[in-house]
Amino acid sequence: MSDTPKSPFSPTPGAPNVGGDDALVLDRLTQRTKPPAMYQVVLLNDDYTPMEFVVWAIQEFFGKDQETATQIMLKIHIEGRGVCGVFSKDVADAKADQVMSSARRSGHPLQCVAEPVES
């Protein structure tokens, strides 16, 4: 009998017993976590919120430059909606709330929603 202690792990069933009774083969299980679901923050068009306020909000809350913010605002105006950014759920919800709160404080009915990104 060997003086080496027995391992608390059981060998993989069907694994060859190489090197005697003390040989041990363990399977490594790779765990993969799914990336978090992503959400897009969308501004919706209305007939009352000034375009300048929309551009300001896109710059302020989404860090876009003047030209990019203007392009997003025009898309909102023409198509009825525009994506301002894609974030994790918590961040997207927070940004949508920030935009809505700022719009309400300024007296504008601007609508902002966070919705799942379709894969």
What Rg value do the Cα atoms of the chain yield, rounded? 28
10-31 pLDDT tens trace: 555 665 555 556 777 777 788 8
pLDDT at 78: 97
Distance of CA 53 to the CA centre of its chain: 26
Which sequence spans correspond to the domains of the chain?
A: 38-116
pLDDT tier for residue 32 given thresholds of 50, 70 and 90: confident
What's the mean pLDDT in 33-60?
A: 96
pLDDT at 27: 78
| Tokens (6 digits) for 64 | 């876009």
Query: Exposure of 3 by Cβ count < 10 A (0-12 exposed, 13-18 middle, 19+ buried)?
Result: exposed
69-108 pLDDT tens trace: 999 999 999 999 999 999 999 999 999 999 999 999 999 9
Q: Which residue is associated with the tokens 């069907």? A: 14
pLDDT at 25: 74
Name the CATH code of domain 38-116 (choices 3.30.1390.10, 3.30.200.100, 3.60.20.10, 3.30.70.20): 3.30.1390.10
pLDDT at 12: 56
Angle at 117 between CA 111 and CA 119, to 5 degrees: 155
d(CA 92, CA 85): 8
